[in-house]
Structure 1
């Protein structure tokens, strides 16, 4: 999925951060007006994100750019994804900002896509969603990247979802009371309850929460929870959360989780982008 998460002010700020007072090297070499061409290619198979903002950065710097493969595409190693041209001053100005953004965001998108593929290989209908543990100040970019990889956000923040944590329950008589209060206050919202053991699941199931967020349970424990839910509250969804990653996503999906909640994509290794700049 591609959508515009940036504004012109964002582009200006990104370039100003890297080139606040001009490009000393390019200007000292008297190359600023020399015609230049840049190509950007992936060094390994990747799911792309950020190509469109890279194009916008080159245009903002004063050049032009053409997208050859768009956000969301799975591309093989060696494939050229963008070509830019213009005066060397413009090309050098946008080069590293554009390259680094594509590397970070494509790394997130690639790991997201890989986790989804691993989970759906054993459970085609399982949902993969991501937590709100985005880097503060970079939420828009990171959400764009997980969307490019095929996931949806589990929570964007505290304002749009109901999630009853044990920390909330400490102020209440029990979890069931919390579920009732939330349903009364926001009847149009689904109620998610975080649980850490199958025993906690048994206590809250009579309240029929919409989703049980099973925090740091093992796949074997998720299997027990899924059986309890199927027998006593079949409308409730089981979400495995805390520590879900590429290595164990299939195990959690096979155990019966309806939803995998993960932060792993946000800490993905950046993709490796090869950039070549030549005289035009």
Structure 2
């Protein structure tokens, strides 16, 4: 379970209400008891509900119910219900709603890709890239993991991925450098991005653990897989990671072609999932 840092909650509130909620304060009903309910308007995978719940607790609300991140939620089902003073609930309302709608879009799109891929091969891995907007990566990681994917690269500091752009600065197109990485970073998987079958053949000799196939056609993925299947039993075989333009519509095709890993940024462009919000004066206890 991810910890929700107080600094994140403070930042979310400070962005929207650095001096509180002027409208609610001016209307004068902020001290009244209230209840806020969030309900799915469309089917979706719940994501970042724990952050939304923590946000309400942070302003003094009492969480009556919170569906866990990763749960498939049909339309009309409740995701979150909170009670507290009206000023507290109005303060966190829109930030919590917008966060869960955005996160639900990421998680739902990720879920669709994972389901499509695993219908062909149950052990295939869907890995989402670090293409979240700056400052949003932590929330994006929560969301894609709620959808069933893993993190491709959380950042530059812990993974080794040699791009063609790196190799432009190295002799022999980086082949010797990649071999050296296997020795100098023995506890790390060495990933090399290639853009053609010919490049992939070259880097087979370097001992790379994973070949990331950038925008390969299905035919080229299949061609490379067929070649690897014919290697001698004692020869190391890298994993094939299909990357670039992988989404729900073609995920299964890339798995059939021979990819063991699907690397995708598709969820980051997903449409948010609508959530209906109802706020009313408090007249009874939590009813979920």
Specify the TM-score bucket, using the shorter chain as the normaliser.
over 0.9
2:136 aligned partner: 138
- Give distance in 2, aligned partners of 1:234 and 1:187: 16
Match of 1:275 among 269, 274, 277: 277
Residues 161-218 of structure 1: per-residue CA shift (max 9 Å, x gap): 1111112222221343122111121122111111111111122222232111000111
User: Cα offset for 1:225?
Assistant: 1.2
1:79 aligned partner: 77
Residue segments in structure 1 that go unaligned for 5+ positions in a row: none
The answer on 1:257 being equivalent to 2:259 is yes
SS in 2 for 1:31: coil
1:34 aligned partner: 32
2:171 aligned partner: 172
2:15 aligned partner: 17
- Give distance in 1, aligned partners of 2:227 and 2:25: 69
Residues 6-31 of structure 1: per-residue CA shift (max 9 Å, x gap): 31122122112111222222122211
**Runs of 4 or more above 6 Å deviation:** none
SS in 2 for 1:147: helix
1:199 aligned partner: 198
User: Cα offset for 1:234?
Assistant: 5.5
Conserved in 2, the CA contact under 8 Å of 1:51 and 1:67? Answer: no
- Give distance in 2, aligned partners of 1:106 and 1:152: 16
- Give distance in 2, aligned partners of 1:130 and 1:172: 31
Conserved in 2, the CA contact under 8 Å of 1:52 and 1:67? Answer: no
Tell which deviates more after alignment, 44-53 or 223-232: 223-232
Instruction: Give the alignment of 1:205-244 within 5 angstroms.
Output: 205-232=204-231, 235-244=237-246
- Give distance in 1, aligned partners of 2:191 and 2:158: 12
Residues 25-44 of structure 1: per-residue CA shift (max 9 Å, x gap): 21222111121111111111
RMSD: 1.4
TM-score w.r.t. the length of structure 2 is 0.93
Residues 211-259 of structure 1: per-residue CA shift (max 9 Å, x gap): 1100011111111111122223562101100111111111111111000
Residue segments in structure 2 that go unaligned for 5+ positions in a row: 283-288
Conserved in 1, the CA contact under 8 Å of 2:182 and 2:207? Answer: no
2:158 aligned partner: 160
Tell which deviates more after alignment, 86-95 or 198-207: 198-207
SS in 2 for 1:107: helix
- Give distance in 2, aligned partners of 1:102 and 1:254: 34
- Give distance in 2, aligned partners of 1:52 and 1:239: 32
TM-score w.r.t. the length of structure 1 is 0.95
The aligned length equals 278
Residues 64-97 of structure 1: per-residue CA shift (max 9 Å, x gap): 1123411111111110011111111111111001
